[in-house]
Amino acid sequence: MESTLPYAWYSDPEILRREQERVFLGTWQYVGHLGELPGSGTYFTSRAGRTPIVVTRARDGELRAFLNVCRHRGFPVAQGAGLRETIQCPYHAWTYGLDGSLRAAPRSEEEPDFPKDELGLCSIQVDTWGPFVFANTSRDAEPLADALGSMPAQVAELGLDVDSLVHYTRWEAEIDANWKIVCENFLECYHCQVAHPQLAEVLDVSAEAYALATDGRLSSQNGPVNEKYGRDSGRDRMDLDGELPRGQFHFLWPNLTVNIFPGRPNISIGPVAPLTPDRTYRFLDYFFAADVGQAWIDDLMSLDDQVGKEDRELVESVHRGMAGGGVEHGFLMGHSEQLIGHFQQLTRAALEA
């Protein structure tokens, strides 16, 4: 049997430092959606891994992203989201346009040859897939389309037009577990029959029906509707009749999760971001087609909330077990946990490069 990563790697601060440097820097990170930038003069703040960023749409309509760091003394220049022509650092009132240029710096006239034109915000790469906004802090990043691999094509083949989706809500949480444990839990449904009984009623999670595949840095799970659920479902249960015949669940290494349930057009997307070796921040943006009824949305959100609560208990318990010491590593089931093996191979290679 294949061994897991050493359990010490899930609690060691030095490992996390190396992960921030070798895993997260230079990878495309989901940071938000175009609904947060409804027109010119809008901006929103987010993080690309641990790096604070601000995404803007200036008067020229161009989408831009910058490090959310004042060039003067490092204070974050923007907070939240909003509609305005400029953003101003709360520390010393250095003011920047949404195109990143430095507009004003109090007392700069007292400085000989003040290099105003050289002190704009530091730009970073930004791109979109449908309404989804991604940022990358590396100057040498591959194109976003290359990084996404076959995921957009798989989603389109399912029958989901991401450009038609409307943002519904954002869920956020901090979880008492290492980020890798959270990712690995997402990457297998071996636990679903035991730990997620409601989900296992909806999807056929048997080893024969639940399909797993990898493609470069992409891991994909395809879950057909449970035939028994289809026969037995009543009006008090979630209606799975709709445009999407099965569920798709994608993971783009190192930390992007994408969930699509069968039925009406829907998707949730968001990153898994380490805060400390034993604490992780997650958010998911939920999208639905404009004509999806509120009752169906409520049913899906209720199911997803239940699965999320169950997963939180699972990953926090796993972290406590790993951090307790005494056991060096675990083992992987070759078929059912092959996507975890793929994740760990990519992570190990990055850390040992």
Structure token pair of residue 202: 């909806």
pLDDT at 126 over 90: yes
Global pTM value: 0.96
- The pLDDT score that the predictor gives to residue 236 is 58
pLDDT band with cut points at 50, 70 and 90 for residue 235? very low
* Beta carbons of 120 and 80 less than 8 angstroms apart: no
22, 179, 300, 310 from 306: Cα distances, Å: 34, 20, 10, 6
Q: Compute the distance between CA of residue 74 and CA of residue 70 in angstroms, rounded to an integer.
A: 5
Based on its alpha-carbon atoms, the radius of gyration of the chain, rounded to whole angstroms, reads: 22
Q: Compute the distance between CA of residue 126 and CA of residue 86 in angstroms, rounded to an integer.
A: 20
Domain boundaries 145-352, CATH class = alpha beta
- The pLDDT score that the predictor gives to residue 246 is 96
- pLDDT tens digits, 259-271: 999 999 999 999 9
User: Any idea where the domains of the chain sit in the sequence?
Assistant: 28-140, 145-352
Nearest to 120 by CA among 77, 81, 184: 77
- pLDDT tens digits, 7-38: 999 999 999 999 999 999 999 999 999 999 99
- The pLDDT score that the predictor gives to residue 305 is 97
100-104, 220-224, 229-233, 249-253: the lowest-pLDDT one: 229-233
Summary mean pLDDT of the chain: 96
- pLDDT tens digits, 162-183: 999 999 999 999 999 999 999 9
Q: Compute the distance between CA of residue 330 and CA of residue 38 in angstroms, rounded to an integer.
A: 48
Q: HSE-up of 189 (CA within 13 Å, CB side)?
A: 26
Q: Which of the pair, 306 or 325, is modelled with greater confidence?
A: 306
- The pLDDT score that the predictor gives to residue 232 is 53
Beta-bridge mates of residue 266: 288
Beta-bridge mates of residue 175: 280
Q: Compute the distance between CA of residue 349 and CA of residue 22 in angstroms, rounded to an integer.
A: 10
Region 28-140: CATH code: 2.102.10.10
pLDDT at 149 over 70: yes
Burial letters 214-233, b for 16+ CB under 10 A, else e: beebbbbbbbbbbeebeeeb
